[in-house]
Amino acid sequence: MQGIIFDFNGTMFFDEKFQNISWRTFIEQKVGRDISDHEFQEYIHGRNADASFSYLFNKTLTRQEIMALEEEKETIYRQLCMESEDFKLADGLPRFLDELCAGNVPHTIATASGWENVRFFFEHLRLDQWFRLEDVVYNDGTIRGKPEPDIYLRAAETIHVDIADCVVFEDAKSGIESARRAGAGRIVGVASMLDRHTLLDLGASVAIDDYNDLNLTSRRNFL
């Protein structure tokens, strides 16, 4: 494989508890109800904000309304991150990123997060050590969200590698489907929220618990 594309939330940063608390707090405040685990997987996790909010409010929203709601929810999320010692990259990931950079392997991030969160992650997790901010593909309102293939196709174009020659790292149902539809050469499921068996059933080529599984001996079996 010639290129690597990472989803971010739940893949590079295991943020299940932060997402659960922030979304459920936001939904309770704005909609006045809780959300089921099934709804979370189908309509929230890995999805663009416009799809999530349209489902929650049961109507079509303007881009301005979506941006305002997204920032309200993400303010809760970012505060939770800053208050926790668990706000860090997934185990083994910094070493893996160091090796990608040392080997000049093209790589980038393709995330359903908006711009403010991308900047937040770059600042507080020092992502500029390994990634160019301008290469990150994020939810800017111009691209169809996962499970559509657009975000991974654009990410592959950004790093100048055919998507068929890319490995995609994903943790969510919608993201795995997006990578599959895009024609990714290999999909590595990261078991931050879903277990390995479920990730494989959803279409991942292989599954890992964290990036410590990508040791030099076994890496060829994953990539």
pLDDT at position 31 is 87
CA distance 154 to 151: 5
Burial of 103 (0-12, 13-18, 19+ CB in 10 A): exposed
- Go through the domains of the chain in sequence order and give each one's CATH number: 3-14+89-222 (3.40.50.1000), 16-82 (1.10.150.240)
pLDDT at position 104 is 93
For residue 156, the SS3 value is: helix
pLDDT at position 206 is 93
- Report which of 107, 94, 90, 101 is spatially closest to residue 190, judged by C-alpha positions: 90
pLDDT at position 40 is 81
Please give the C-alpha separations between residue 198 and each of 76, 173, 217, in angstroms, as whole numbers: 29, 9, 25
Asked if 46 contacts 189 with a C-beta cutoff of 8 angstroms, the reply is: no
pLDDT at position 177 is 96
Q: Which two tokens stand for residue 23?
A: 């979304």
CA distance 206 to 185: 12
pLDDT at position 126 is 97
pLDDT at position 44 is 85
Walk along the chain (223 residues) in steps of 10 and give the mean pLDDT of each run: 92 93 91 85 81 88 88 92 96 94 95 92 97 94 91 97 97 95 97 95 95 69 60
pLDDT at position 39 is 86
